Structure 1
Amino acid sequence: MTILRDVLAELISMFVGDALLTATVLVVVGFAAALIDLGSVTPLVGGGVLLVGCLVVLASAVARAARRQ
């Protein structure tokens, strides 16, 4: 039972560890979903927005972490 608790604690700390990264990825996913559902955007374009948005968020998080060290 302690192994399961340790694994769950590690999973939670992965998402809470960098709250800004988590929040911005959720915003990008929501924006892409809104473009597809509410806008007249094809799913392929929405997928491209999702890909580019997540890559930009990841690059900015890596750059921010590099500046801290």
Structure 2
Amino acid sequence: MTVLRDVLQELIGMFLGDARLSAAILFVVAVAAGLIELAGVEPLLAGGVLLAGCLAVLLEAVRRRARHG
């Protein structure tokens, strides 16, 4: 039972370890969903926004991590 608890703690820590990264990804997903639902944008275009947004967030997180060691 402790192995299962340890695995769950690691998974939760992985997603909550960088709150700024998690919030930024959630924001990008919300924007893409809003484009589809509210603005009536084609899902393929919103998928492109999702891809570009996630890549931008990832690059920013890597750049910030490299700068602050």
Q: Same fold (TM over 0.5)?
A: yes
Q: Is the counterpart of residue 60 in structure 1 residue 63 in structure 2?
A: no
Identity of aligned residues (%): 62
1:26 partner letter? L
Q: Is the counterpart of residue 50 in structure 1 residue 50 in structure 2?
A: yes
1:68, 1:14 → 2: CA distance?
19
Q: Which runs of 5+ in 2 are unaligned?
A: none
Structure 1 vs Structure 2 CA RMSD: 0.5
2:16, 2:42 → 1: CA distance?
33
2:42, 2:63 → 1: CA distance?
32
Instruction: Report the equivalent of 2:31.
Output: 31
2:25, 2:58 → 1: CA distance?
9
Tell me by how many angstroms 1:16 deviates: 1.1
1:39, 1:19 → 2: CA distance?
28
SS at match of 2:62: helix
Tell me by how many angstroms 1:41 deviates: 0.6
* Alignment size in residue pairs: 69
Q: Which runs of 5+ in 1 are unaligned?
A: none
